[in-house]
Amino acid sequence: MAILIGLLFASAVYLMLSKSLLRIIIGTGLLSHGAHLLLLTMAGLKRGSVPLLGEQAESYADPIPQALILTAIVISFGVTAFFLVLAYRAYQELGTDNIDEMRGSKNND
């Protein structure tokens, strides 16, 4: 799992250092997936019963890591959707997804 997390982080950083806006968005998605997997791996796979109040279980699974990951998935989905809409609108206005071309040259000032 550590190798997979490292590969996700490495590919995310590589894509985020690109000049294409779409690659940057894909890189942020991969980075969030790597973070989710890292949280899940750090919490460990625990076997036990459902964490219900009032039950007298000897061992139960900790719901906090699962709740954190679920919240992070929802937030990253919203951020990715916003980035995609922003990139689409920027492409409509500027006609390119290259970051350097979006900035414009110093001669155009």
Residue 96 lies in a domain: yes
Mean pLDDT in runs of 10 for the chain (109 residues)? 95 94 94 92 73 66 83 94 94 88 67
**Domains of the chain: total:** 1
- Tell me the C-alpha distance between 84 and 21, whole Å: 9
Residue 22 lies in a domain: yes
**CATH number of domain containing 25:** 1.10.287.3510
Residue 108 lies in a domain: no
Residue 91 lies in a domain: yes
Residue 21 lies in a domain: yes
- Tell me the C-alpha distance between 98 and 109, whole Å: 19
For the entire predicted model, the pTM comes to 0.78
Residue 33 lies in a domain: yes
Residue 6 lies in a domain: yes
